[in-house]
Structure 1
Amino acid sequence: MDVEIVGKFLSTLPEDDDHPYRTGPWRPQTTEWRADDLIAVQGEIPADLDGIYLRNTENPLHPALKFYHPFDGDGMLHIVGFRDGKAFYRNRFVRTDGFEAEQEAGGSLWPGLAEPLNVAQVDYGWGARTLMKDASSTDVVVHRGNALTSFYQCGDLYRVDPYSGQTHGKETFNGSFPTPWGVSAHPKVDDRTGEMLFFNYSKQAPYLHYGVVNAAGDLAHYVDVPLPGPRLPHDMAFTRNYAILNDFPIFWDPELLERGLHLPRYHRDMPSRFAVIPRLGTTAQIQWFEADPTYVLHFTNAYEDGDEIVLDGFYQGDPDPADDPTGTKWQRTFRFLALDRMQTRLHRWRLNLKTGACTEEPLSDTISEFGMINAAHSGEPYRYAYAATGKPGWFLFDGLVRHDVQTGNEERISFGDGVYGSETAMAPRVGSSAEDDGYLVTLTTDMNDDASYCLVFDAARIADGPVCKLQLPERISSGTHSTWVAGSELRRWRETDDAAAAVGL
């Protein structure tokens, strides 16, 4: 393995830190690496695996102003690229405005998710002391050859080179970016049309927007989605002809919000609602559907079936888990992050566009979340979803489950004690035709070896274990959202690229 340190940053976190989401598997990194010719410590890199896996991570360098939440850390992108039986690795901080400002200041300037806004040390530009730092640390997608990182509380999209990890400023949509509302995490790229669908939300009316960026990078569509007040949507879905947004009964307490306090509450007597809008439809064309109260962090897919839209996602059986006095103080504080406490299970809703009826059913009894599919089947009928299982009581992924949504069959694998994975992307084999003909790619944090690895599984036989295991230069922090982009797609957007040529891609 050819390894080079390309960046080193000073951390001001305390040496005796005991925060579980800044230590152990969540220990932040301060080093940026370039590693070529990754070594397979198990198996061989498949010669028909061609593309790049990208994963975003919250990675703090400074103590919180008052109380750190694991969603507060700066964005760090991890990149593993494959071609012709070779692989490379890069990791880079996303150079957001907030990251640069705090580097210059030598400490935190903005409040985090669990902190009052009045502790802010800086004005952010949209009104004094009103916003969190846009860390661009939640999600990553690839559109038009560029990786775009995003933040769950809405903000800018940062353009990152998917080969080198270098930040190339903010996405502008050719001058039509929806400032000041920004874009939320989880925009959806439709490989069939080249479009990117997105939403944003706000504490001021209009509380929700939906937009479409076309294949040329222009903001082609942008409309209001009427809501009765501020909401906290986290994901969306789409079909060939429609987009699906949501209004779930977890949102900031209105009375506390008037006093500047951001405390979400679960309103058990309110229904879940889904908004269905034609892909380029108007506000007047939105059709609303009511369902059982819950909260859904992530959807796996949606598609059309006659008059119905089939929508699959992870239903929370207990969106507001009670405090458990038997747990540690940290488990009690962060019980809203543990999959077993929220009881997240794969679920299906059917939205009948003709009758207006909504029916729903569970698809699995297995606790899982962060599901990924073969992106070629996004918005279309599909069969397989690959999801993470969680360590009880903690925000850590301890294994994989392959859901067959047609038969209900499941195949599971554990990473083993002390080993934690990432959101696992599906990488179709070059020339594949079957939905599951390909590989699963994930990154692990192995506390036993004090190391990290990239694992590659056969998507059709995950129980066989990894077909190859590649060692990374350093044990990386645990993290969540990821994406896969085919090498052929990237090369279509860049005929000449020094970073690509340097690693043989």
Structure 2
Amino acid sequence: MRVQIHETFESGLPADDTHPYRTGAWRPQTREYDAWDLDVVGEIPDDLAGTYIRNTENPLLPSIERYHPFDGDGMLHSISFAAGEAQYHNRFVRTDGFVAEREMGQALFAGVAENVNAAKESCELGARPNMKDASSTDVVVHNGKALSSFWLCGDLYAFDPVTLEAQGRETFGLPDGVGISAHTKIDEVTNELLFFNYGTEQPYMHYGVVGADGGLAHYIDVPLPGPRLPHDMAFTEHYSILPDLSMFWEPSLIEHGIYLPSFHRDVPTRFAIVPRYGTTEEIRWFEADPTYVLHWINAYEDGDEIVLDGFFQETPSPDPIPEWSFDQNLFRYLDLYSMNAKAHRWRFNLRTGETKEEHLSERIQEFGMINGRYGGRRHRYSFNALPCEGWFGFKGVIKHDVDSGTEEILELPDGVFASETVMAPRLGSTAEDDGYLITFTMDVNDDRSECLVVDAADITAGPIARISLPERISSGTHGFWSPADA
């Protein structure tokens, strides 16, 4: 392995840190690397060509009062494949907040679990004030640029997808101060990017389309009854789907600087379905059972119906455990087992206005990925994370066949944890699962990280290649596969 250190940062975190999301699989890094000629056990397939990028919460400074893992500074990890070789790069996302806090040597902005009035500097960008835009949640590739994003609607930061060379902000021509939520969507057929944002002022949500050339092509209001807390959207070949979910911030507390999500069991989940380039007046609303959904898997059109797959939370707001501390109960909201998240299907009939829904599986799972070529079109397979119990982490991947209802599982050894796992079609592939699953691992037993390459058609056979990274990386959130021609 040939390794070059790009930059090293000083950490202000305590040397004897015991925070559960700054230790173990979530131990942050302080170094940025460029690495080639990576050590490989097995063989990297010659027909694997493209880039896997993952975003990470990677804090360098203590919080003002209470650290939540989604407060960590964004760090991107990129591994690119060509002709049986791979190269790796990682970079911090140097947001305005990151730069300001490094200059001052202390946290300046309120975190997820802190009152916004605790902030030492103000920030009005995003869905709530005085919170640092860490750009640490998601990443996609569009128009030749990797774009990192933040779940509370910050700026998009652009990078070269392979080298992660910073290319500044990407605004698409939106007005200053307009943020974009994580989970922008890429239609690989049309090369359009679909996005939404939300906030605490009317109309509370917007939806937009960016053309293949990178310019803003469409932007409309999506009026909601009040401030909401959506996290993801979905699309079909001709429609976009935006949720109005049953868990959202308590409006009476917002004016006091407290952004506390509550599950409203008497409020149905609603779905706005709008033609891709439709107007606000063309939105059609459908109601369904109350729940909260972090992530959708895919959606497609089936005759008069739109089919939407995602992860239905049976207990979006688990009851607190009296003998537990505030922090212990706070982190239960990161435990997908506490939420009972299960693969679920909604059907919306555009002719009758009827909604039907059902579980697709009784197994707890989340963070689903598909072959990107099938985005917005009928899919058969999803590749979902197998969650750890009791905390936010993944111990493997589930291949879910939605046609047969069968599931195959690749579970990692104890003490080894996976990332969100992407599906990379092989060059010249024709079948939906003809390609590779790719994930980064965090091995706390041997203090190392690898990139695993797995045959997507036979995941139970285990990795066909294990590629060493320069050091153990931190766990994180979302990843993306970008084919070489993108």
Q: What is the number of equivalent residue pairs in this alignment?
A: 485
Q: Aligned equivalents of 1:216 and 1:471: distance in 2?
A: 36
Task: Give CA-to-partner distance per residue, 1:403-446, whole Å, 9 cap, x none.
Answer: 00111010001111001110000000000000000000000000
Q: 1:432 matched to which residue of 2?
A: 429
| Partners of 1:2 and 1:343 in 2: CA distance | 44
Deviations 1:143-182 (A, max 9, x none): 0010000000001100011111122110021xx2243231
Deviations 1:330-384 (A, max 9, x none): 5433001111110011000000001000000100111110000000000000100
Structure 1 consecutive aligned stretches of length 4 or more whose deviation exceeds 3 Å = 324-331
Give the aligned partner of residue 232 of structure 2.
235
Q: How does 1:186-205 map to 2 (within 5 A)?
A: 186-205=183-202
Q: Secondary structure, in 3 states, of the residue corresponding to 1:71?
A: helix
Does structure 1 residue 246 correspond to structure 2 residue 243?
yes
Kept in 2: contact 1:331–1:393 (CA 8 A): no
How far apart are the structure 2 equivalents of 1:312 and 1:237? 9
Give the whole-Å Cα distance in 1 for the aligned partners of 2:352 and 2:233.
22
Q: Is the 8 A contact 1:116 1:261 kept in 2?
A: yes
Q: Which residue of 1 aligns with 2:455?
A: 458
2:395 is aligned with 1:394:
no
1:5 matched to 2:13: no
Deviations 1:207-237 (A, max 9, x none): 0000001111111110001100000000000
Q: Distance in 2 between matches of 1:63 and 1:260?
A: 21
Q: Provide the residue aligned with 1:24 in structure 2.
A: 24
Shift of 1:124: 2.6
| Distance in 2 of aligned mates of 1:462 and 1:488 | 26
Q: 1:216 aligns with which of 201, 213, 218?
A: 213
**Partners of 1:20 and 1:330 within 8 A in 2:** no
Instruction: Determine if the alignment matches structure 1 residue 357 to structure 2 residue 378.
Output: no
- The 8 Å contact of residues 121 and 130 in structure 2, kept in 1 or not, is answered as no
Contact 1:331 1:394 (8 Å CA) reproduced: no
Residues 1:178 and 1:440: Cα distance change in structure 2 (over 3 Å): farther
> Match for residue 63 of structure 1?
62
Matched, 1:45 2:31: no
Q: Does 1:320 align with 2:339?
A: no
Counterparts of 1:252-401 in structure 2 under 5 Å? 252-325=249-322, 330-401=327-398
Is 1:111 aligned to residue 110 of structure 2? yes
Structure 2 segments unaligned to the other structure (5+ residues): none
Conserved in 1, the CA contact under 8 Å of 2:124 and 2:130?
no
Structure 2 residue matching 1:235: 3-state secondary structure: coil
The superposition leaves residues 78-117 of structure 1 with CA deviations (integer Å, 9 ceiling, x where unpaired) of 0011111101111100111111111111111111100111
Determine if contact 2:125/2:179 at 8 Å carries over to the other structure.
no
Q: What corresponds to 2:143 in structure 1?
A: 144
Distance 1:349 1:488, change over 3 A: same
Distance 1:327 1:65 in 2: 22
Partner of residue 90, structure 2 = 91
Whether the 8 Å contact between 2:179 and 2:197 is mirrored in structure 1 is yes
Aligned-pair Cα RMSD in Å: 1.3
Give 3-state SS (helix, strand or coil) of 1:376's partner: helix
In the alignment, residue 30 of structure 1 is paired with which amino acid?
T
Q: In 2, distance between residues paired with 1:112 and 1:165? A: 26
**Judging changes above 3 Å, is the alpha-carbon distance between structure 1 residues 126 and 449 closer, same or farther for their aligned structure 2 residues?**
closer
Alignment-mate amino acid for residue 461 of structure 1: D
Contact 1:203–1:230, Cα closer than 8 Å, also in 2: yes
Alignment partner of 1:441 out of 438, 442, 456: 438
What is the rounded CA distance, in whole Å, between the counterparts of 1:116 and 1:48 in structure 2? 50
CA–CA separation in structure 1 for the residues paired with 2:432 and 2:211: 26
Contact 2:227 2:249 survives alignment (8 Å): yes
1:124 match: secondary structure: coil
Match of 1:167 in 2: 166
* SS of residue in 1 equivalent to 2:25: helix
Answer yes or no: is the 8 Å Cα contact 2:153–2:182 preserved in 1: yes
User: Could you tell me which residue of structure 1 aligns to residue 155 of structure 2?
Assistant: 156
Q: Tell me which residue corresponds to 1:498.
A: none
Please give the TM-score of this superposition, normalised by the length of structure 1: 0.94
SS in structure 2 of the partner of residue 297 of structure 1: coil
Instruction: Give the counterpart letter for 1:133 in structure 2.
Output: K
Q: After superposition, give the CA deviation of every residue in 1:277-331 in whole Å (9 maximum; x if it has no partner).
A: 0000000100000000000000010000000000000000110111235768754
Task: Return the letter of the residue paired with 2:190.
Answer: T
Task: Report how far residue 240 of structure 1 moved.
Answer: 0.3
Aligned to 1:497: none
The CA distance in 1 between the partners of 2:363 and 2:396, in whole Å, is 12
Do 2:410 and 2:460's aligned partners in 1 also have CA atoms closer than 8 Å? yes
Name the amino acid aligned to 1:352.
N
Indicate how the Cα distance of structure 1 residues 478 and 126 shifts in structure 2: closer, same or farther if over 3 A, else same: closer
Q: Is 1:76–1:137's contact at 8 Å kept on the other side of the alignment?
A: yes
Q: Secondary structure at the match of 1:324?
A: coil
Paired AA for residue 294 in structure 2: L
Q: Is the 8 A contact 1:181 1:201 kept in 2?
A: no
| Residue aligned with 1:223, SS | strand
Distance in 2, matches of 1:6 and 1:375, equals 32
Mapping of residues 69-84 of structure 1, within 5 Å: 69-84=68-83
Q: Is the 8 A contact 1:98 1:133 kept in 2?
A: yes
Q: Structure 2 vs 1, CA of residues 178 and 356 (structure 1 numbering), >3 Å: closer, same or farther?
A: farther
Instruction: For 1:451 and 1:227, locate their aligned partners in 2 and report how far apart those are by CA, in whole Å.
Output: 46
Match of 1:34 in 2: 34
C-alpha change, 1:126 and 1:482, in structure 2 (3 Å) is: closer
Instruction: Name the SS for the 1:467 alignment partner.
Output: strand
Shifted more, 92-101 versus 302-311: the winner is: 92-101
| Secondary structure of the corresponding residue to residue 261 of structure 1 | coil
